[in-house]
Amino acid sequence: MEGAKGTVCVTGGAGYLASWLIMRLLQRGYSVHGTFRSDQKFKEDISHVVSLPEASGKLKFFEADLGNPESFDAAINGCVGVFHVAHPIDLEDKIDIDKIIKISMDGTLGILKSCLKSKTVKRVIHTSSIAAALMINNRNDVQEIDESSWSEVDFMRSVKAPGISYCISKTITERAALEFGEKHGLDVVTLLPSSILGPFIGSNIPVGFPFALPVVFGTEELRNFLKESSLVHIDDIASTQIFLFESPNAKGRYICSAKDVLVHETAKYLSIKYPELQISTQSPSLMQDAKPLHLSSKKLLDLGFTFKYGLEEMIDGAIQCSKEKGLL
């Protein structure tokens, strides 16, 4: 039986954000078509999503791969909306950057073409990243980033930083998605989350946690590199996606970030609340007196969204969930 609000498609349905989003969409009365990669090499266990209490009769999974753009047709057919969440994430920069860009671009444009073909999709919520706004040459002169800022591709290609292929592919793909929407009269809204933190329903540590909470989940390289992070709770991001889908006046890009914080501050909180994790607050890489860059969510707040979760709930959600699942 179809949910009262119609059927929507969520790409990359087994992932951290997508699985949480599917849970919230089902609870809100939508039926969901999730997509997952069929290749045995990538096949993610989707049992954590299909076993959600609200899933029975309302959730169907389809095999689809960004490397095969037309494979999304079946999942999108008959849907009123598409939440495009899947992205080839290679935060360790192991895969050739142009290969990542091609998969992301071909897959995203294929999904948008499937939306046009369906004739039923009213809006696409494309999940971009703050990485598509943040990587600018003159960043030291800037105190605040808003939606007018676009990461500079030539600059990014010239710097060495962890996860740079991710930043480049997110930037190029978001631009292409917005341009496709303009050109073909398809309503495409893009969402730029900062680092997402909080509990998770999958069985592995989410791939972005090393960037969100480097002092707990990051490599030494990352711990030395990252001085500040901007964070948002997983439930606030899923709510934002649904809010943007349902808001008649949503248009263009939206940054969604609840808290800008120095890594030193999170290290201090963690060392007091979770002494067993033995977090050091003395590392020379932890700046104690700087002011973090502000990522402005004003456009989203002006549209009527309100954040529900603060920093402690994000950190506690992530740590406690990791412990409960025996991952920390």
Ligand X SMILES: NC(=O)c1ccc[n+]([C@@H]2O[C@H](COP(=O)([O-])OP(=O)(O)OC[C@H]3O[C@@H](n4cnc5c(N)ncnc54)[C@H](OP(=O)(O)O)[C@@H]3O)[C@@H](O)[C@H]2O)c1
192: which strand partners? 255
Q: From the CB of 114, what's the least distance to ligand X, in Å?
A: 13
| CA pair distance 279, 94, nearest whole angstrom | 28
Q: From the CB of 140, what's the least distance to ligand X, in Å?
A: 23
Bridge-based pairing of strands 252-256 and 144-145 is: unpaired
Q: What is the number of the residue whose Cβ is closest to ligand X?
A: 15
Q: From the CB of 160, what's the least distance to ligand X, in Å?
A: 21
Q: From the CB of 24, what's the least distance to ligand X, in Å?
A: 14
Nearer to ligand X, 175 or 281 (CB): 175
Nearer to ligand X, 67 or 78 (CB): 67
Q: What is the largest CA-CA distance in the chain?
A: 58
SS3 196: strand
Q: From the CB of 275, what's the least distance to ligand X, in Å?
A: 26
Residue with tokens 């963690």: 270
Q: Counting every residue, how long is the chain?
A: 328
* Strands, sheet with 252-256, edge to edge from the N-terminal-most edge strand: 59-63, 31-36, 7-10, 81-84, 123-127, 188-193, 252-256
Nearer to ligand X, 68 or 281 (CB): 68
Q: From the CB of 144, what's the least distance to ligand X, in Å?
A: 18
SS3 144: strand
* Strands, sheet with 195-197, edge to edge from the N-terminal-most edge strand: 195-197, 228-233, 259-262
Q: Which of 50, 46, 38, 60 is nearest to 14 (CA)?
A: 46
Residue with tokens 């006046």: 249
Nearer to ligand X, 15 or 199 (CB): 15
Beta strand segments in 121-167, E: 123-127, 144-145
Alpha helices by DSSP H, listed for 185-262, are 209-212, 214-217, 220-225, 234-246
Nearer to ligand X, 204 or 280 (CB): 204
Cβ atoms of residues 131 and 167 within 8 Å: yes
Q: From the CB of 40, what's the least distance to ligand X, in Å?
A: 11
Nearer to ligand X, 3 or 198 (CB): 198
Nearer to ligand X, 37 or 253 (CB): 37
Q: From the CB of 89, what's the least distance to ligand X, in Å?
A: 5
Q: From the CB of 65, what's the least distance to ligand X, in Å?
A: 4
Cβ atoms of residues 173 and 108 within 8 Å: yes
Q: Which of 122, 178, 172, 132 is nearest to 8 (CA)?
A: 122
Nearer to ligand X, 280 or 317 (CB): 317
Give me the residues that bind ligand X (CB under 6 A), please. 12, 14-18, 37, 42, 44, 65-67, 85-89, 103, 127, 129, 170, 193, 195-196, 206-208, 212
Nearer to ligand X, 3 or 206 (CB): 206
62: which strand partners? 35
